[in-house]
Chain A
Amino acid sequence: MTLERRAAMATLLAERGDDLLVVPGLGSTTWDAAAVGDNDRNFYLWGAMGGAAMIGLGLAIAQPSRRVAVITGDGEMLMGLGALATIGTQCPPNLAIIVFDNGVYGETGMQPSHTQAGVDLLGVAGACGIASRLDVRDEDRLEDLARQLKNLRETLFARVQIAAAEPPRVLPTRDGVALKERFRASIGVKP
């Protein structure tokens, strides 16, 4: 069983609360987050492939009183796999890394990713020392993940198995400076 990506994103970000900061990864997860509803506390990525998890780490360390959710795709995560090792050594209690895994590179023509060939991102996260992990394959587990995200107390890694589909693109602004400034302003960071 697989989940539909937009519905999964909506479930995770419903009642997100003011203290949830979201870093969607390059590509489909950025469109998903924008489709669910634009928010100043989303820092959408239009590039920096492989960097989403590390942006989340820097943000989580800087903002220990807020929760940080990196929500990215399997291809984006695979490009920055070393970040899981780095995060495993830091383990900020307020960081969740959530990978929407459809086993393909949806933006470039549905070529298979390594996860389709059996590379196990949950296993990698575990081997890197991230103790709290969730394998999400159905609605019940997705609700579990949403609950854990609300009460985040330790670094969490979740793999969400989604269908390989391409819903219509919903594009947020591409102006990186504007995205940065509005994000910082929304959490009261001084210029």
Chain B
Amino acid sequence: MSAQPGDWPDRLFETLKRGGIRQVAYVPDAGHARLIDRCRADDEIRDVALTTEEEGVALAAGAWLGGDRAALLMQSSGVGNCINMLSLARACRFPLLMLITMRGEWEEFNPWQVPMGSITDPVLELCEAEIFRVLEPSEVAGIAQRAVQYVFGQERIAAVILSQQLIGKKVWTK
């Protein structure tokens, strides 16, 4: 079976599995739907649905205290919800792997997504997150793998930015 461009969430899932990720926290997001489904179906991964993204920053810290690797999935709007809680990862050097689907940057239907989408990268940089941006499906596995190594090898924060160009525009069926 050859890889299809739309299979990139499966590449992310495989990277998380290879990286030994045991806890996956998320606020549901259309761009992450397939990855969330894969994680929920996996017996070795504990999936934790959150009410807000900052909960996931704290969860990942607790996971690391106990020896588990965690990943946090969110949409770009969720980055704003995390800012103060990211102080926990920065002050204690907790490893934090964030996989972020972009909104508000490319063929965006909803103008209310633009304000946070337009400042996602600089906010993350101010919070000392290393940015790993993905534009093409073929890049997903390699870039995500580098981010995993960076986060858990150096106990640092990384944001894998899954561009709106990669995800494709949201389809409104109504």
Q: Are B51 and A47 in contact (CB under 8 A)?
A: no
- Please tell me if B57 contacts chain A, counting CB pairs below 8 Å: yes
* Complex CA–CA separation, A57 to B66 (angstroms): 10
Q: Which residues of B contact A54 (CB under 8 A)?
A: 55-56, 58-59, 62
A interface secondary structure, majority: helix
Closest to A183 in B: B65
If A58-B23, A58-B61, A180-B94 touch, whether A83 touches B67 (CB-CB below 8 Å) is no
Closest to B88 in A: A48
A sample of 20 cross-chain residue pairs with beta-carbon separation below 8 angstroms, ordered by A number, consists of A47-B88, A48-B58, A48-B61, A48-B88, A54-B58, A55-B59, A55-B62, A57-B62, A58-B60, A58-B63, A59-B63, A62-B22, A63-B66, A80-B55, A83-B51, A86-B48, A176-B93, A177-B92, A180-B93, A183-B65
- For residue A18, give the distance in angstroms from its CB to the closest CB of chain B: 15
Chain B: interface size category? 20 to 34
Chain A: interface size category? 35 or more
Q: Are A47 and B91 in contact (CB under 8 A)?
A: yes
Q: Which residues of B contact A56 (CB under 8 A)?
A: 62
Q: Are B54 and A43 in contact (CB under 8 A)?
A: no
Q: Are B48 and A57 in contact (CB under 8 A)?
A: yes
Question: Contact mask B30-63 → A, CB, 8 Å, 1/0?
Answer: 0000000000000000101111101111111111
* Complex CA–CA separation, A106 to B61 (angstroms): 26
- Please tell me if A187 contacts chain B, counting CB pairs below 8 Å: yes
* Complex CA–CA separation, A89 to B28 (angstroms): 15
Closest to A184 in B: B65
